[in-house]
Amino acid sequence: NSLLAVGVHGIKGDFIKGVFVHIADEKGEIFAFGIVNYDCKALMSLLSLKDKDEIRMLFPKAVVHIDNLVLLK
């Protein structure tokens, strides 16, 4: 599945849209990587949002689409 904005719980590092990023679980273990559709500043603003409908409206694209995602585990 794609990584959707509602599934993002933290951001680490600086990055721009279109680069490869590591994706980690709650423990910090990297389990995937993929091409991100938003830059780190946009995603940092996501973390302050609580309403899932608002998140879906402001971030309509997947953070990392399934076609650009590689699972490691």
Please state whether the predicted TM-score (pTM) of the whole model is above 0.85: yes
- In contact, 4 and 61? CB cutoff 8 Å: no
| CA-wise closest residue to 34 among 73, 2, 68 | 68
Amino acid at 6: V
Question: Which residues have a Cβ under 8 Å from the Cβ of 68 and sit 6 or more positions away?
Answer: 34, 35
Q: Which tokens belong to 64?
A: 């990392």
Beta bridge partners of 71: 32
- The neighbour count for residue 32, using CB atoms within 10 Å, is 16
Q: How confident is the model at residue 1 (pLDDT cuts 50, 70, 90)?
A: confident
pLDDT, tens only, 7-62: 999 999 999 999 999 999 999 999 999 999 999 999 999 999 999 999 999 999 99
